[in-house]
Amino acid sequence: MEKKKTVLILYSGGLDTSICIPMMREDYGFDHVVTVTVDVGLPEGELKQAEDKAKMLGTEHYSLDVREEFVTDYIFPTIKANGDYQGYPLSTAIARPLIMVKTCEITEKTGAQAFCHGCTGKGNDQFRFEMGMRLGRPDLPIIAPMREKSMSRSWEIDYAAEHGIPIGQSKEKIWSIDENLWGRSIEGGKLEDPNYAPPEEIYKWTKSIADANDTPQDVTIEFVNGEPVAIDGQKMKPLDLILAAHKIAGDNGVGRVDMMEDRIIGMKVRENYECPAAKILIPAHKALEELVLTKEEREFKAIVDQRWSRLVYDGLWFDPLKEDLDAFINNMQPRVTGTATLRLYKGSCTVVGRKSDFALYNEALASFDDKSFNQAEAAGVVKLHGLQARMYDSIVKK
Ligand code: ARG
């Protein structure tokens, strides 16, 4: 008997990846379709919806809950690197590598001979998914029907109807949303006009300024080795801590981002993000770094953080340079142990305190009243300060 030809589809349950199912059978000649949905913090009910739809469309389906691993192995390293690209606290970008590691495992398990994803040719995820697949399964051909065929939404809806795929809310679905434990990204529809103010309805985790708490809330975050371990003295498991941080920040209207973003291929897009936990945990982490790292380290780490974030945004999580930068970052993180206190109030987040046993700070030394430091000794250093600028002024300019 001839071996079955199997394709694996990275499946979200949405319109694009659903129409890939009959398409793989009819147009691409596969007689067996495997679907995989990886849960890195999907909205309530979405995993089940994807499972039901896959079952209905007759695929061999796998649902994988990798939320814990996502927090400890992807979100925590992102906090240590203060992961941010152009003002976007990296969220979709940090989930893709893990999704691909897990998807590659399923290709092995099911003997899939090809990999299919639903990305278009304009976005960043095609880079991230394909990099992950080529790394894990360089032998598998990659099929991207949305990119290949440039299908319009109305054509897709007709195609779905003809193939008995329930379109349900997808017809009136106005926003393209990607959600994981670390953040939500909302694109499309009217938001494509960069001058259109985002409507309240795109937000789910954050209150508007008007509805946010009426009194300021102070919150203390404890870090060990650069990883958050407790909020207001209460130790929490990594996943619970992220959820608690979302709630505290969100209730105070902290965590909304509206920005212009330069995609990998160079296209500018308007992006809206909702990322309350990131908007308090990263500032708290930075506040602690300010206290424990030297001037030289702080200056250099800002460069490393930016380079790290750019690599990760570009889908190069597994690049050797990213590993090198992680080694640099991880070497200093044991000192990033202590607490930072933030004051949250109607959308603002201000650092109001920081404390660490590793603080490179001496109150007596910095104090105006202190006598232990002989200030007269500073005169000589001050005299020579700017020596080259003075030479330039007298030799070149005169
Ligand atoms: N621009 C972000 C990124 O590339 C998020 C994209 C998420 N996709 C979406 N359909 N909202 O990481």
| Domains of the chain with bracketed CATH | 6-178 (3.40.50.620), 183-355 (3.90.1260.10)
Amino acid occupying residue 135: L
Q: Is the pLDDT of residue 83 over 50?
A: yes
As a whole number, mean pLDDT of residues 143-168 equals 90
Q: How far is the CA of 272 from the centre of ligand 1 (A)?
A: 9
At residue 269, the pLDDT reads 97
Res. 169 pLDDT band, cuts 50 70 90: low
Contacts for 34 with CB less than 8 Å, ≥ 6 apart? 6, 7, 8, 9, 59, 60, 61, 62, 106, 110, 112
Q: What is the 3-state secondary structure (H, E, C) of the chain?
A: CCCCCEEEEECCCCHHHHHHHHHHHHCCCCCEEEEEEEECCCCCCHHHHHHHHHHHCCCEEEEEECHHHHHHHHHHHHHHCCCCECCECCCHHHHHHHHHHHHHHHHHHHCCCEEECCCCCCCCHHHHHHHHHHHHCCCCCEECHHHHHCCCHHHHHHHHHHCCCCCHHHCCCCCEEEEECCEEEEECHHHHCCCCCCCHHHCCCCCCCCCCCCCCEEEEEEEECCEEEEECCEECCHHHHHHHHHHHHHHCCCCEEEEEEECCCCCEEEEEEECHHHHHHHHHHHHHHHHHCCHHHHHHHHHHHHHHHHHHHCCCCCCHHHHHHHHHHHHHHHHCCEEEEEEEECCEEEEEEEECCCCCCCHHHHCCCCCCCCHHHHHHHHHHCCHHHHHHHHHHHC
The per-residue pLDDT for range 41-82, each reduced to its tens digit, is 999 999 999 999 999 999 999 999 999 999 999 999 999 999
pLDDT above 70: residue 11: yes
Q: For residue 96, how far is its CA from the centre of ligand 1 (angstroms)?
A: 11
Spacing, Cα 390 to ligand 1 middle (Å) = 51
**Which is the catalytic residue, given 39, 125, 305, 314?**
125
Distance of CA 271 to the CA centre of its chain: 13
Question: Is the confidence at residue 131, as pLDDT, over 70?
Answer: yes
Look at residue 393 in the predicted model and tell me its pLDDT. Answer: 95
From the list 63, 65, 134, 176, the catalytic residue is: 176
Residues near 378 by beta carbon (within 8 Å), at least 6 away in sequence: none
pLDDT confidence of residue 171: 45
Q: What angle do CA 303, 91, 267 make, to 5 degrees?
A: 75
- Note the pLDDT of residue 160: 94
**Per-residue pLDDT averaged across 216-244, rounded?**
98
d(CA 140, CA 143): 10
**Environment class of 281 (CB within 10 Å of its CB; exposed 0-12, middle 13-18, buried 19+):** buried
pLDDT over 70 at 141, yes or no:
yes
Judged against a pLDDT cut of 80, whether residue 183 lies above it is answered with: yes
Compute the average pLDDT of residues 164-175. 73
- What are 352's two structure tokens? 């109001």
Going from the Cα of 187 to the center of ligand 1, the distance in angstroms, rounded, reads 7
Q: Which of 88, 98, 131, 178 to mutate to test the pocket of ligand 1 (most atoms within 8 A of CB)?
A: 178
Q: Is the pLDDT of residue 1 over 60?
A: no
pLDDT of 37 above 50? yes
Q: How large a percentage of the chain has pLDDT more than 90?
A: 90
Q: What percent of the chain has pLDDT over 70?
A: 98
Q: Is the CB of 92 under 6 A from ligand 1?
A: yes
Beta bridge partners of 345: 348
pLDDT value of residue 363: 84
Nearest-CA residue for ligand 1 atom 8 is 178
Pick 156 or 370 by higher pLDDT: 156
Residues 147 and 265 sit within 8 Å (Cβ to Cβ): no
Give residue 166's pLDDT band: very low, low, confident or very high (50, 70, 90). Answer: confident
Mean pLDDT in residue range 314-325: 98
User: Rounded to whole angstroms, how far apart are CA atoms 169 and 320?
Assistant: 43
pLDDT at 139 over 60: yes
Query: Helix crossing, 153-162 with 15-26: angle to 10°?
Result: 60
Residue 52 has a CB neighbour count (10 Å cut-off) of 13
2 confidence band (pLDDT: 50, 70, 90) = low
Whether 187 lines ligand 1, by a CB cut-off of 6 Å, is: yes
370 pLDDT exceeds 80?
A: no
Is the pTM value of this prediction over 0.85?
Answer: yes
264 pLDDT band, cuts 50/70/90, is: very high
Polymer length of the chain = 398
The amino acid at residue 170 is S
